[in-house]
Structure 1
Amino acid sequence: MSCTSVVYCLERVLNLNDDYRQVFQVQGPSVLLMMVAGHTLLLPNRCPHQGAGLHNASLSSGVLRCPWHGIECALSTGRALNAPCANIEF
């Protein structure tokens, strides 16, 4: 069995500071690279509720809020906090 890995360099580490947020297109859907409270996060650039881009989402106390419908997701767990649909998560 053969195992192949692909590594993409998205950003230089020295550019990653708190509040960093950038969208990248990597073979398919876009991803959002963020630096929050010293943690580097990479997630799909789409709200799991209805697909809005999260690059313009507001961020407060580790909670990302979708700009379209206000769905809030905890970055620590990836789970929605106030979604009208059950089991929404990143």
Structure 2
Amino acid sequence: MRFQPLEKLINLHDGYRRHFRFDALALLLLQDQGEVYLIEPRCPHREHPLENARIEHGMLECPLHHYRFALTDGRLLRASEESCRNLKTWALVYEGNEVGLLLPD
């Protein structure tokens, strides 16, 4: 596994959101209430973009159909229509003054 840096810690702040792509892997790095999360950038329900999703009390709400997911583990908390899978999340790795993730070699 190799460390893939995403952002310098000094650049993170509440409201921070940034997309990343590594081959077929699409990611959304965000910070809310001092916590940093790495999630898939589209809702698993209907693939709506999540960069403008509302975040409240550790929950992310998709702006299209108001599905809610826990940011810590991606668990589906509320569905307004049919159920869907959980939101994919990735563990963050801190190395020096950067945050990133581990990718296969």
TM-score, normalisation: structure 2: 0.70
Letter aligned with residue 83 of structure 2: C
CA distance in 1 between partners of 2:57 and 2:30 (Å): 14
CA contact (8 A) 2:60 2:70 kept: yes
Deviations 1:27-65 (A, max 9, x none): 213200011222211111111112111111111221111
CA contact (8 A) 2:19 2:29 kept: yes
Q: What is the CA-CA distance between 1:72 and the residue it aligns to?
A: 1.0
Root mean square deviation of aligned Cα: 1.6
1:1-90 alignment to 2 at 5 Å?
Answer: 5-83=1-79, 84-85=82-83, 88-90=85-87
Q: Secondary structure at the match of 1:10?
A: strand
% of aligned pairs identical? 35
Q: What is the CA-CA distance between 1:19 and the residue it aligns to?
A: 1.7
CA distance in 2 between partners of 1:50 and 1:6 (Å): 32
Question: More relative contact order in 1 or in 2 (CA 8 Å, sep 6+)?
Answer: 2
CA distance in 2 between partners of 1:26 and 1:56 (Å): 22
How many residue pairs get aligned? The number is 85
CA distance in 1 between partners of 2:6 and 2:69 (Å): 24
Q: Secondary structure at the match of 1:9?
A: strand
CA contact (8 A) 2:32 2:55 kept: no
1 or 2, which has the higher strand percentage? 2
Residue segments in structure 1 that go unaligned for 5+ positions in a row:
none
